[in-house]
Amino acid sequence: MDIISSLSILALAGLIHASFQLSVSVLTLVNGHALGAKHSQQRALRLSTSFVVGATIMTLLLLSTLSLILLSVFVYEIPAVAWSAVCGLMFSVGVAIWIFYYRRSEGTSTWVPRPVAAYLTGRTKSTKSSIEAFALGMVSIFGELIFIIAPLLAASMVIINMPASWQLAGIATYTIFSILSLVIVWVSIGSGHRVSKIQKWREQNKYFLQFIAGGGLIVMCFYLYTYEVLSSAVLIGGY
Amino acid sequence: MGLAVDIVKHNRLKGHEQFSRDKLHASIVAACLSVRTPVGQAESIAHAVSNSVVDWLENKPEVTSQDLREVASKHLESHHPEAAYIYRQYRITI
């Protein structure tokens, strides 16, 4: 796979990651509570910034760790069976997102178990310092690992297939695209938009976001399967 | 004099607590402030909504926290629809 194709796949994987909503929900609540607790706009923005930095670092750590593990497992090249397994995982997670990512109710409640959601909601209310917001940003990414593992794994495999000099650029590409949704919320809050408008937009478009997250994973699954599994089988078959 | 009303929290999972007008008032103020309402306006809206909720609670020995939230948001809707929206969304954002 050439560099442009690899970076495009990483950008797509990052966008799929960005369409998952747990961290966006938590960030929205952190902002709402910060403003509701009579904190200044600057303080609310400081908490949001720490949250976004925490989420970014957790994404970087997860992607780097996965890449390192895969690099030590597949020293010479990634076998077709590994690509098939990751494609299977992406397909399953894509279908799972379509079926039960959002709850069929008002609001933007996701699959997250209710006690966990209540705990996170409580934490957003008691987040007062930048360190707490930073940690909450990290937790919000880790909490959605069950879904983001699919784009993360695919991205890691694409990254370790790239030349060493391009691997850092690959990690940066994925990370930048994956935090786009958080950055948009952060910029909106910073520029004076109301939390209610952001939340209304999210509620009105939740099924569209669900569709593109699941659909994106399935499209990427077929692309990678065709490119990495079928095309290599054809090449071997045709000598 | 405070109302002697029991609030049943989370379908009895978190037990009961006594109704507190101050707590309700603070939650309405927070909802208004989170949508960038000026403090004075938020306080007066919270006062009006709390009065309406207290009237509704008269002669009710026990209500659920969900009922209380719904009634408060219904009254808040007439004063500040955006704050009412955020107030309703509290438990259904994540």
Is any Cβ of chain A less than 8 angstroms from the Cβ of B25?
Answer: no
- Cβ distance B53 to B75 under 8 Å? yes
Are B34 and A33 an interchain contact pair (Cβ–Cβ within 8 Å)? yes
CA distance B89 to A140: 19
**Residue of chain A whose alpha carbon sits nearest to that of B83:** A196
Contact A36 B39 (CB under 8 A): no
Chain A contact set for B34 (CB, 8 A): 31-33, 35-36, 195-196
Query: B42 contacts in A (CB within 8 Å)?
Result: none
Contact B87, B27 (CB under 8 A): yes
Which spans in chain B are helix H? 21-34, 39-57, 65-79, 81-89
Residues of A in contact with B11 (CB under 8 A): none
Residues 6+ apart with CB under 8 A from A10: A155, A158, A159, A170, A173, A174, A177
Residue from B6, B84, B5, B37 nearest A38 by CA: B37
The DSSP-derived string for A135-146 is HHHHHHHHTTHH
Closest by CA to A150, choosing from A113, A97, A108, is A97
Owner of token pair 């978190």: B14
- With beta carbons under 8 A apart, name residues in chain B contacting A32: 34, 86
Name the residue with tokens 């850092």: A168
Residues A123/A135, Cβ–Cβ less than 8 Å: no
Longest CA span, chain A: 70
Tens-place pLDDT, residues A33-68: 999 988 788 889 999 999 999 999 999 999 999 999
Phi, psi for A102 (deg, rounded to 5):
-100, 145
CB contact under 8 A, B94 and A29: yes
DSSP-derived letter for residue B13 is: T
Task: Find where tokens 């948001």 sit.
Answer: B73
Residue A40: what pLDDT? Answer: 80
Residue A233 CB burial class (10 angstroms; 0-12, 13-18, ≥19)? exposed
Burial of B69 (0-12, 13-18, 19+ CB in 10 A): middle
Q: pTM to 2 decimals?
A: 0.91
| pLDDT score at A73 | 94
User: Structure tokens of B42?
Assistant: 């938020």
Non-local (6+) Cβ contacts of A126 within 8 A are: A132
Size of interface A-B (CB pairs under 8 A): 69
Distance between CA A29 and CA A185 in Å, rounded?
A: 11
Q: pLDDT 10s digit of each residue in chain B, 94 long?
A: 456 677 777 655 667 888 899 999 999 999 999 999 999 999 999 999 999 999 999 988 888 888 999 999 999 999 999 999 999 998 889 8
Which sequence spans correspond to the domains of chain B? 6-92
CB contact under 8 A, A195 and B35: yes
Residue-by-residue pLDDT tens, chain A, 239 positions = 889 999 999 999 999 999 999 999 999 999 999 999 887 888 899 999 999 999 999 999 999 999 999 999 998 889 999 999 999 999 999 999 999 999 988 899 998 888 888 889 999 989 999 999 999 999 999 989 999 999 999 999 999 999 999 999 999 999 999 999 999 999 998 898 999 999 999 999 999 999 999 999 999 999 999 999 988 776 666 55
Inter-chain residue contact A35 with B86, CB threshold 8 Å: no
